[in-house]
Structure 1
Amino acid sequence: MRIFLNSVTVIIGMFFGLLAYMFAYAHRKKVVHHSFSAQEGPLLGKELSVFFISDIHRRRIDNRLLKKAESYGPVDIVIIGGDLAERGVPLLRIKRNVKMLSTLGPLFFVWGNNDREIGEDAIRDLLSQHGCTILDNMNTPIKTHPLWGICGTDDPSSNNVDVEASLKDVDTYRYLIVVTHTPSLFRKVEAICRPELMLAGHMHGGQIRIGKFALHPLGQFNVSEGKAKLISNGYGTSLVPLRLGAAPESHIIKIKY
């Protein structure tokens, strides 16, 4: 009986130890650096620096994360790739997160499947307070890099996705960034044009992975012929504040052109 009780105690201890590890792992402050050239042949000697973060959910943005991002040099634009919030997250926390991100550079935002749970008007109001551009099925030039345009779609959960409207007249830009919360829209975009950079999140890298087994694949960054695609593991978590085998991440992307 004593051996049995000792075994149960060890198993329980290991279980709670694993939970503690998964909780700490889920709260890592990771900035992944990527770089590529947006064209073949001679370059113009310019560089666009993008900070991308998606799926913040309930997490707090703090100075430690910002300092890691700034360690790679000045940021030209900050892109929030959806799920800035979810039901139950205090508006003050969301507002503080947006305010902190705005210190890195001009903000752009696309809707995720959870953002409207706290009220669309509330999100629009707090984003506008910090000069954030909401990419509602639209595109706009990047002011500090006028050869570049940035385009964003609504999320499929809204039943309001209009890829064609998002890409209207994008041939006026020499280079293009397309942001969608879910990577499932990439194929629809590529049926119309081939942007230099495509960004998405949503999948959380599976969030909890047992070896190769998970609900979704890990995030990835791929470059081919001057065109890059990034699917992020995201920064926060959903359902439970735990991760395993799919580290939280944000991104600095340096694009030479």
Structure 2
Amino acid sequence: MIYIFYTCIIIGILLLVRMYFIAHENHVHYLSLTYNTFPSSVEKLTIFFISDIHKRIVDETIINEIKEQTDIVVIGGDLTEKNVPLEKTEENLARLSKVAPVYFIWGNNDFEVDKEKLLLLFEKYNVTVLENKRIILKESVENRAINLIGVGEISFERDNLPKALQDVADTDFNIIVCHNPEIINNITTKDNISLILSGHTHGGQIRIFGMGPGKKGDLYRYPNMDHLISNGYGTTMLPLRLGAHPETHLITIKHK
């Protein structure tokens, strides 16, 4: 009986150690997407998407891997959270801004820190904040815009999709970034969205027998659009993961 007891303790400790190391892995997932709606005169658009950084520092191995092949960096919310030193958040912004122009959408945990101090960091590192607005990333020779559209945090009722889409033309190619994947419930075919980028769920963070408290990160494909939900890079509450590895994404978009 004692033997079984100590064996269970050892197995438990080993599992916790394994979960800790999983939570600190560094993965870049390469994703190539093609769309008929993407302007044929534009060769490609490459996006580095990272969400849910929380307490982590973006590893230099990731920065070195992507910095020569990225057009823009998109932070999909939860860059930080309460009790994360401002210096750590600044280091992340300094590293990401070396890669390409940075765009940011608010996540629920970002509101736990001093907003004014965070905005000063964004100004210092030329980070563009998207909340219920769009920016034009590129324009084709056919005068078709490639839009990055940010939608505010749904859980705080800061989302305003009609406002975000108000200047979008029917012929544009549109990418929405929203921290909360529930944004998909507000989008209709007439909105003409080709790709949604979200995080928030951490992939469930700890999944037992494939089950977890959140939707696992994946590319979910629908008849008229794709929805990338990322497992995210960091963790919340416990620095542990199981069955939902941390991830970042290098997305290349081309005409089909």
Q: Is the 8 A contact 2:19 2:240 kept in 1?
A: yes
Q: Which residue of 1 aligns with 2:249?
A: 251
- Note the C-alpha offset of 1:212: 2.3
Q: Deviations over 1:102-137 (max 9, x none)?
A: 111111000000001012112211112111110021
Q: Is the 8 A contact 1:204 1:233 kept in 2?
A: yes
- Note the C-alpha offset of 1:147: 2.8
Q: Which residue of 1 aligns with 2:91?
A: 96
Show structure 2 runs of 5+ residues with no match. Answer: none
Q: What secondary structure is seen at the aligned counterpart in 2 of 1:150? A: strand
Q: Which residue of 2 aligns with 1:188?
A: 186
In 2 relative to 1, CA 37–224 (structure 1 residues): closer, same or farther, beyond 3 Å?
A: farther
Distance in 1 between residues matched to 2:235 and 2:38, nearest whole Å: 41
Q: Is the 8 A contact 1:36 1:223 kept in 2?
A: no
- Note the C-alpha offset of 1:12: 1.1
For normalisation by structure 2, the TM-score amounts to: 0.91
Match of 2:70 among 57, 64, 75: 75
Q: Is the 8 A contact 2:38 2:173 kept in 1?
A: no
Q: Which residue of 1 aligns with 2:62?
A: 65
- Note the C-alpha offset of 1:30: 0.6
CA-based RMSD of the aligned residues comes to 2.1
Q: Which residue of 1 aligns with 2:122?
A: 127
Q: What secondary structure is seen at the aligned counterpart in 2 of 1:142? A: strand
Q: Which residue of 2 aligns with 1:46?
A: 43
Q: Is the 8 A contact 2:170 2:192 kept in 1?
A: no
1:1-257 equivalence runs, <5 A:
4-39=1-36, 43-44=40-41, 46-70=43-67, 73-143=68-138, 147-171=145-169, 174-190=172-188, 192-224=190-222, 227-257=225-255
For normalisation by structure 1, the TM-score amounts to: 0.91
156-165 vs 210-219, which moves further: 156-165
Identity between Structure 1 and Structure 2 (%): 35
In 2 relative to 1, CA 201–31 (structure 1 residues): closer, same or farther, beyond 3 Å?
A: same
- Report the number of matched residues: 252
- Note the C-alpha offset of 1:36: 1.4
Show structure 1 runs of 5+ residues with no match. Answer: none
- Note the C-alpha offset of 1:223: 4.0
In 2 relative to 1, CA 173–126 (structure 1 residues): closer, same or farther, beyond 3 Å?
A: farther
Q: What secondary structure is seen at the aligned counterpart in 2 of 1:99? A: helix
